[in-house]
Structure 1
């Protein structure tokens, strides 16, 4: 099963939480904890020193540290400042989804029709309808097609309609940078989409470039090669040991992948993800090909459409529960899932599956929890927009409040865990704080965009008390000061500035094809 390993990882973390002081305290409801002041007289001086790094001289350093019950331990002068949260925005989206949708929430994808079946012919249109499932794969669409064939249907006399009307028709967020359009971390959001890989990157096609004989064109393969996405192959095979200069682009307005450069003979294949325009029609092309594979022909064209009232469901696919989806989503900071959840929240609250409805519902819900939302302004649920704003005060408030929730252990386990190399455990923190007392201890959400980096979550100190922290840094000088975030987290884990001072500035952040700073887990998309 797709989520068997992920479920095992989460179960292991939750079980671990029951037998260790670190995670046990983190699963204790906030109202059962006493806001005991730490006997830590040097904390302010130590954190002030870390934040005096020259890279932050003209930056906004928004930092808040609390006890698990919310008592303040440290607050920077900019703690209430509205800054770009980057992927820390997902904390607001996720906690709202867990409250309003629930851990057992499942997405559904259906195939239906109002048309009658006569013999082996369905005399009308066949409708493929989605509700935003980010987990449904090409293999799942094949299973749906097999379900149609199993009914004895061999011919569809009408059209194949792709129904993505569960969400609105605004698939690209106008608050995103257009230069991000080719990359899977900024894929279009549709109620009918396909998971390109095992960690639910949606709305994209996988492009694999392999070497041929020297001097020959490189070999290119697409996942789900249905003809919907075209390939312009300008790549060649260079001499063995030569430089790999492969570049993959998808020009705006066209579903054409352009591959250029050279790949060395005998070298490893290059694998990239590139977005598709109108994911619903791409999915319909995948489903149409699957129907043909199972002996079902469609006479009419493929088009957008809407399932009519009274449609009979002929085949259906349900996703894993939200509790399982959280792991690849939060560990790897999956933007597509965040914005699918945002539109789903909007649909649940107001009946409109849009960014505007979803973000309004998120802010309303977070405010009702008692979180300070003065600085909160969201235009998406992922934090990809440079127009999003939040404060460390608000994030820390949220992290304190949600500790009393019944779903908190699931949420806590799904956060990236410092220094744990397994990508579905450590996630975006897999390579950070390794070998320190923060490793295996810090559960926190990362965030990185050009000029904005964030780290917010939970850490257990040497006294066994859980601390909540939020570190939002904007407009700094490179290299990206993730090491300063790590030093703060290690300082909280150890109670000593000595260990944290051993952490050094990182190498330059991996960048996208447009030259932007991005989350580490997004690099494969770029």
Structure 2
């Protein structure tokens, strides 16, 4: 049966669900041991907080089983599923992000008679190697210097200092948002202890090139906590690191908060290495009229970017993609406003929805969507967008948390994880070929709010129990409804 607005998933409630569950009791009763019900599995998981789930027939939209399915909960990174659908419909599958070098004057005698502008296009995939390609294009265009200034512009999407305010200051998955993004707006911090003490480096690390980042530095300080502290001064970023917290050698990615200065600094180094000397970069508020393109780097097609985003759950990619889609709709694309625009879009597509998004990545705990609305989106909008092909296979776990394989059972899904929040949504193919869609949300936001930064006590074990519950529910559904 074709999915229509008269099917169950198009309603706003799952009241009276028991009468709508597909027959399966006779098969279950015939088994030597009765499988646990969904409610019994939830009780055994002992999560506390809230648990909501729903599974539906992917072809008809018939709801097969649910618990608290119409209760809005924090989706964590499953919010990226909605962002994927939103971006593909708005921008199209052939969309590519473009980073450009613009000139305000002619090139004569190896010199640009005017200003050079590094203009970001909100490309979340731009890395140092790609910036080096742009520098090579500039040199091939005959530019060895400029008479004017070197500007950087990140106004393709609005700036935000961070994605979520409740994250530790040093985590690389919570960088700034800007229309000029380099290395996912992260810098590679490296340390090594020698006879004279520690040697520290801040680098724009990429596969081929690792230039120093001169607008970001780190110094050691004699303190126990916090491990990292951050401040800005003079248009640069300064980190202090507790010396007692470092081992002999290591590295990690730190978030960048001044992305235009960072990208301009790195580009200046890359251009100099190829024989083009540029002045120090300066930020530009708006692009001048009449500037012409000297060079450009275009990203891969949008679906390739989204597949990687869903696989690695890259937060800055979700924000850049979502905010670009909002800007393309001619709506305020600032953080918060862009999330609200996606919420309104989803409500329009589903014929009414109460979902509320503050961001596009789910990194913050303020987003809300019900399992029912998530499954409606996956079922109604997913096939046209090719959503399942963008999701990654989900590995089932047994009661001890070990990976297991069920012959003929395939799950393609998006996970979501925050402290005391674990979510999952996607597609199931049962061993007999039955296609199902589902969402499982678990969250203890009260316990999360009481935790203080880092990895709070008990969160890892809690998430482990939630993931086991997810596997148990999926296996149950594939058995009963497949």
TM superposition score category, shorter chain reference: 0.7 to 0.9
Aligned in 2, Cα 1:488/1:420: closer, same or farther, shift over 3 Å? closer
CA contact (8 A) 2:409 2:429 kept: no
Matches within 5 A, 1:272-421: 272-299=252-279, 301-350=281-330, 352-370=332-350, 373-374=353-354, 376-405=355-384, 407-408=385-386, 411-419=387-395
Does residue 226 in structure 1 map to residue 202 in structure 2?
Answer: no
When normalised by structure 2's length, the TM-score is 0.81
Q: 2:444 aligns with which of 463, 475, 484?
A: 475
Aligned position for 2:175: 187
Aligned in 2, Cα 1:100/1:330: closer, same or farther, shift over 3 Å? same
CA contact (8 A) 1:205 1:274 kept: yes
Q: CA deviation at 1:247?
A: 8.8
* Alignment partners' CA distance in 2, 1:139 and 1:435: 39
Aligned position for 1:24: none
CA contact (8 A) 1:346 1:355 kept: no
Q: CA deviation at 1:29?
A: 8.5
After superposition, the C-alpha distances for 1:153-207 in whole angstroms (9 at most, x for unaligned) are 222122211111111233435xx22543421211111100112xxxxxx111012
Aligned position for 1:426: none
Aligned in 2, Cα 1:341/1:361: closer, same or farther, shift over 3 Å? same
Matches within 5 A, 1:439-478: 441-475=410-444, 478=458
Q: CA deviation at 1:122?
A: 1.5
Matches within 5 A, 1:239-278: 249-253=228-232, 255-259=237-241, 260-261=243-244, 269-278=249-258
Q: 1:40 aligns with which of 13, 16, 24?
A: 24
Aligned position for 2:42: 51
Aligned in 2, Cα 1:250/1:132: closer, same or farther, shift over 3 Å? farther
Q: CA deviation at 1:495?
A: 4.2
Q: CA deviation at 1:295?
A: 1.5
Matches within 5 A, 1:101-140: 101-140=91-130
Moved more, 44-53 or 88-97: 44-53
After superposition, the C-alpha distances for 1:7-27 in whole angstroms (9 at most, x for unaligned) are xxxxxxxxxxxxxxxxxxxxx
Q: CA deviation at 1:318?
A: 0.2
CA contact (8 A) 1:419 1:440 kept: no
After superposition, the C-alpha distances for 1:482-524 in whole angstroms (9 at most, x for unaligned) are 221121122223449xxxxxxxxxxxxxxxxxxxxxxxxxxxx
Q: CA deviation at 1:389?
A: 0.7
CA contact (8 A) 2:201 2:218 kept: no
* Alignment partners' CA distance in 2, 1:101 and 1:483: 37
* Alignment partners' CA distance in 1, 2:417 and 2:407: 20
Aligned in 2, Cα 1:120/1:168: closer, same or farther, shift over 3 Å? same
Q: CA deviation at 1:271?
A: 2.5
CA contact (8 A) 2:134 2:296 kept: yes
After superposition, the C-alpha distances for 1:18-63 in whole angstroms (9 at most, x for unaligned) are xxxxxxxxxx9868xx999744225995211111136234x22111
Aligned in 2, Cα 1:397/1:264: closer, same or farther, shift over 3 Å? closer
CA contact (8 A) 1:217 1:233 kept: no
CA contact (8 A) 1:127 1:306 kept: no
Aligned in 2, Cα 1:301/1:349: closer, same or farther, shift over 3 Å? closer
Q: CA deviation at 1:351?
A: 5.0
Does residue 487 in structure 1 map to residue 472 in structure 2?
Answer: yes
CA contact (8 A) 2:416 2:424 kept: yes
Provide the aligned length of Structure 1 versus Structure 2. 431
Structure 2: unaligned runs, 5 residues or longer = 9-19, 29-33, 205-211, 448-457
Q: CA deviation at 1:372?
A: 5.1
Aligned position for 2:192: 210
CA contact (8 A) 1:371 1:394 kept: no
Structure 1: unaligned runs, 5 residues or longer = 1-27, 196-201, 236-244, 422-430, 497-526
- What value does the CA root-mean-square deviation take over the aligned residues? 3.1
After superposition, the C-alpha distances for 1:113-167 in whole angstroms (9 at most, x for unaligned) are 1223332222221111011001111111111112122222222122211111111
Q: CA deviation at 1:246?
A: 12
Aligned in 2, Cα 1:210/1:327: closer, same or farther, shift over 3 Å? farther
CA contact (8 A) 1:281 1:304 kept: no
Q: CA deviation at 1:221?
A: 3.1
Aligned in 2, Cα 1:112/1:155: closer, same or farther, shift over 3 Å? same
SS of residue matched to 2:270: helix
Q: CA deviation at 1:87?
A: 1.0
After superposition, the C-alpha distances for 1:227-286 in whole angstroms (9 at most, x for unaligned) are 111121459xxxxxxxxx999625144622333336666xxx422110111111110111
Does residue 170 in structure 1 map to residue 160 in structure 2?
Answer: yes
Aligned in 2, Cα 1:304/1:403: closer, same or farther, shift over 3 Å? closer
CA contact (8 A) 2:324 2:333 kept: yes
Aligned position for 1:434: 403
When normalised by structure 1's length, the TM-score is 0.75
Aligned in 2, Cα 1:136/1:94: closer, same or farther, shift over 3 Å? same
CA contact (8 A) 2:231 2:239 kept: no
* Alignment partners' CA distance in 2, 1:97 and 1:141: 25
* Alignment partners' CA distance in 1, 2:416 and 2:286: 37
